[in-house]
């Protein structure tokens, strides 16, 4: 396991703040009580939680030219037919993955393809599991042209605690399956908008992992 580059500054500041608080307590508190020890323990646990949020576990990725692999860790919260008007511009299947605060928050490309469209949209910060958050929350959209000529849209959606979406996609860039796409801080979701003829391989409330779990077949 290693730490994602997006978290190194935050982890450093968190560790520095915890160290300073404990140092001040040692300096000014002469008689420690149970509450003081519990407070220090809570600080240490918080530090571990922040560090764990930015973890990148070692994984053996699923490589399959005929499957879309999950772009995120989390729980499937939406599978429905919708109309997507920004990139696909028509009827498609939406598959949404909700990432809780304990999930790995690295996002990856589900397949090989060409990035044709990248758009950041400002918005609200509703709970990411809320169905309308996909359209109302702050988000980044990445449109991909697949090798078979079909198009998919990937949408990174900020949640109630997520205050920064990091997207590395660039228009005109050729990308590979499981290549890192971006990162979302502290609870969020990723939506996939797929052609109607792509068979879906997951169900509601299924747990998926980025780079490992097949989401749909490419046809």
List residues bridging with 33 in a β-sheet: none
Does the active-site annotation cover 129? no
Determine how many CB atoms are found less than 10 A away from the CB of residue 57: 12
Buried b (16+ CB within 10 A) or exposed e, 104-135: bbbbbbbbbbebebbeeeeeebbebbbeebbe
Sequence-distant (6+) residues with CB within 8 A of 114 are: 144, 145, 172, 173, 174, 175
Lookup: tokens for 143: 């449109």
Q: Which helix (DSSP H) or strand (DSSP E) does residue 156 occupy?
A: strand 151-158
Helical (H) or strand (E) element with 170? none
- Name the one residue in this structure whose structure tokens are 């359209």: 135
Location of structure tokens 């930015």: 54
Catalytic residue among 96, 134, 188, 213: 188
Tokens linked to 200: 């879906």
Catalytically active residues are: 188
């Amino acid at each position: 396991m290693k730490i994602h580059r997006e978290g190194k500054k935050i982890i450093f500041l968190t560790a520095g703040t915890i160290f300073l608080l404990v140092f001040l307590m040692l300096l000014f508190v002469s008689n420690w009580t149970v509450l003081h020890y519990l407070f220090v323990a809570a600080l240490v646990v918080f530090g571990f939680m922040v560090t764990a949020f930015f973890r990148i576990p070692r994984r053996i990725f699923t490589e399959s030219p005929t499957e879309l692999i999950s772009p995120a860790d989390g729980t499937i919260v939406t599978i429905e037919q919708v109309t997507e008007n920004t990139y696909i511009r028509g009827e498609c299947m939406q598959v949404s993955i909700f990432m809780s605060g304990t999930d790995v928050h690295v996002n990856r490309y589900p397949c090989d393809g060409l990035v044709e469209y990248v758009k950041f949209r400002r918005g609200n910060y509703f709970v990411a599991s809320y169905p309308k958050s996909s359209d109302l929350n702050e988000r980044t959209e990445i449109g991909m042209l697949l090798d078979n000529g079909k198009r998919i849209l990937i949408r990174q959606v900020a949640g109630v605690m997520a205050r920064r979406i990091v997207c590395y996609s660039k228009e005109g860039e050729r990308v590979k399956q499981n290549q890192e796409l971006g990162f979302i801080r502290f609870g969020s979701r990723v939506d996939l908008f797929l052609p109607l003829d792509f068979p879906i391989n997951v169900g509601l409330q299924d747990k998926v992992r980025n780079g490992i779990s097949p989401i749909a077949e490419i046809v």
